[in-house]
Amino acid sequence: MELLFIIEHREYAKLSAFALHVPEKFNWVWDVFEPIVVNQNAGRTMLEMVIRFPGATKSNIFCAIYYICIELRG
């Protein structure tokens, strides 16, 4: 996605060439977070928690947390 490349490389002057349609209502997780963050980082660790046992951690990857969000949505 060219727009993401421009933002990632801080070439902000080029942004004026883009016309973005922003709907009046949208769901940030489904419309923005999933396609831009989850899809590109699905197998990477997003969250690592230290749990009560010394040296023990629990890691969650992006796609796992995304699916938890879907379950919580009901």
Check residue 29 and give its pLDDT.
74
Give bridge partners of residue 47 from the DSSP assignment. Answer: 60
pLDDT tens sequence for the chain (74 residues): 588 788 889 999 998 888 878 788 888 777 877 888 888 888 888 777 766 777 677 778 888 878 887 787 76
Boundaries of every domain in the chain: 23-74
Site of tokens 């009046």: 24
pLDDT recorded at residue 26: 81
- How far apart are the C-alpha atoms of 28 and 47, rounded to whole Å? 19
Q: What is the pLDDT of residue 41?
A: 81
Which pLDDT score is estimated for 24? 87
In angstroms, the CA 27 to CA 19 distance is: 20
For the record, the structure tokens of 62 come out as 């992006």
Q: What pLDDT sits at residue 74?
A: 64
3 contacts: CB under 8 Å, gap ≥ 6: 15, 18
73, amino acid identity: R
